Amino acid sequence: MKILVVSDTHGSVKAWEDIEKLFDLKQFTSIFHLGDVLYHGPRNPLPDGYDPKSLVEKLKNYRIDYIRGNCDADIDLKVLSVQEMPKVTMEYFGDFSFLLVHGEIFEENDIKQFVNDTSAQFIIHGHTHIPKIEEIDGKFVLNPGSTSLPKNGTSRSVMTIEIDENTLLTKFYNLDTGEVYMERTWTLSDSKLITE
C-alpha cells in the first residue's frame, strides 16, 4: 500500500506538474491533499506557476481525498467536482490509524491536547508549510510541508507513506531535486508503535 500526502498547493499548477514529474501517480493506493488547494491566501505571496484554473483541470484527473484548509471555499468544491471537503478525517490503513487535518486549529489550540484527544497513532497536518516528524506522548505528528510556498528555509515537498503488513515507512521528497531528504520507519508490535 502506497499513499501520497500533499498540502498547500495554493493554486500553483507548477507544484502539481512537479509532482507528476516525480511520481507515476497511478502507483498510489490513495492521494490526500491536506488543504489550501486553489487560493494563495491573504498572508501569502503568489506562488510560482499560480494558475488555479489549470490546477483544477490537473487535479480532476486523479481520485484525491481533500481536507479543507483555511484558504478553501465552497466554490472550490464545485470547481473540483467533489461532494465534500471535511476539516478532519480519520483513516485506517491496515493496523495503522491516521487523523488528517489542515492544521490551522493548532494556532489557537494546543497540539498536545489535540493529540491526547484522538485515538489515532498518527496526526498528519499541513498549514505551517514546514515539514516535520514529531513524537508527542507516544503518537506521531507529521507534516509534508508545502508544495508551493515553503517556509523557514525548507524545500517544497511532499510525503509518501508505504505500508507493508506491520511496517510503515514515510519518505519526504524535495520537489526541486526529487531527492528523499527525510524518512522514518515504524513497526507495530503488540499494538505499540516502535520507531526505527
Structural domain total, the chain: 1
CATH of the domain at 11: 3.60.21.10
pLDDT under 70 in the chain at which residues?
Answer: 108-109, 191
Q: Please give the residue range of the domain that contains residue 160.
A: 2-195
Q: What is the pLDDT of residues 90-116, one digit of tens each?
A: 999 989 999 999 999 877 667 887 888
pTM: 0.95
Q: What is the pLDDT of residue 69?
A: 96
Print burial letters for 116-136: b (CB count within 10 Å at least 16), e (below 16): eebebbbbbbbbbbebebeee
Look at residues 154, 123, 159, 133 and name the one whose alpha carbon lies nearest to residue 144: 159
User: Of how many residues is the chain composed?
Assistant: 196
Dist CA 103 CA 192 (whole Å): 25
Which amino acid is residue 40, in one-letter code? Answer: H
